[in-house]
Amino acid sequence: MAKRKARGETIHGEGRDSLLMSKKWIVGLKVLAHAACLGPVAWLLWRLYLSVTTDPTALGPDPTHTVTFFTGRGTLRLLVITLAVTPVRRLIPKLSWLVRFRRLLGLYAFFYACLHLLTYVWLYAGWSWAAMVDDISQRRFITAGLAAWLMLLPLALTSTSWSIRKLGGKNWNRLHWLTYGAAITGAIHYWWGVKTGVKTPLTITVVLGILLLARPVLKYRAQSAGLRAQRAEGKVAS
């Protein structure tokens, strides 16, 4: 309890009022969040099990492609949701407690990204180093995908409260700006992966664009709101 309070003050610094929510609710919502993030993976594993046992079509006519898109889209969606936490909190201060879900969501984004990478390494490259080197050096969409994963890696590694203390809130915040880099690179990876002319990645790109624009807009609003808000701004995690 004391630990959580300390963390709340270090990173979030918006006063405990806005973060106050009954523990019961938080626990309940966290269980829901875990279920929402793990549910699709459980479904995928179940279909995978069926496809190798009784029903080869359980993952559709192109199972490799199904798994690839499932995990890739999952990563991008979770990244976007993670990035939405801060703007939503700024917009609706009553929802400040959402910040307690940000790490969880971010780590799940990384988890999905790892599954996505595993899909590539296993099903496309067949664990062949030669094939991977060939792809990474020659195919920009694979390079972009790997770059996005590499950006997420340090974020996942520094997701502990210990890292935040060690790095200091400001440095940690700066480092975690990489989330935007990863999301943008991920979106580029998506555009480069689809056939020219296909605009399916447009939706996620627009949402990401709005989130990118929301930050400076909300920051400006907060700044003009007064000194107190400004001070809080400096401490608020991205």
Task: Write out the residues near other proteins by the rule CB under 8 A.
Answer: 48, 51-52, 56-57, 59-65, 67, 123-124, 126, 134-135, 138-141, 187-188, 191-193, 195-200, 202, 205
Q: How far is the CB of 8 from other proteins (least distance, A)?
A: 38
Q: How far is CA 100 from CA 18, 19, 143, 227, 234, in A?
A: 12, 9, 33, 25, 19
Per DSSP, 1 falls in state -
Dig out the tokens for 124 from the structure: 């496309």
| 74 or 193: CB nearest other proteins | 193
Please say whether the beta carbons of 16 and 5 come within 8 A: yes
| 60 or 154: CB nearest other proteins | 60
Dig out the tokens for 107 from the structure: 């780590």
Distance in angstroms (rounded) separating the CA atoms of residues 168 and 111: 25
DSSP collapsed to 3 states, 36-101: HHHHHHHHHHHHHHHHHHCCCCCCCCCHHHHHHHHHHHHHHHHHHHHHHHHHHHHHCHHHHHHHHH
Distance in angstroms (rounded) separating the CA atoms of residues 194 and 142: 12
Q: How far is the CB of 116 from other proteins (least distance, A)?
A: 15
Q: How far is the CB of 197 from other proteins (least distance, A)?
A: 3
Q: How far is the CB of 50 from other proteins (least distance, A)?
A: 11
| 51 or 238: CB nearest other proteins | 51
| 54 or 224: CB nearest other proteins | 54
Dig out the tokens for 131 from the structure: 């094939």
| 59 or 148: CB nearest other proteins | 59
Q: How far is the CB of 155 from other proteins (least distance, A)?
A: 23
| 59 or 84: CB nearest other proteins | 59
Q: How far is the CB of 111 from other proteins (least distance, A)?
A: 20
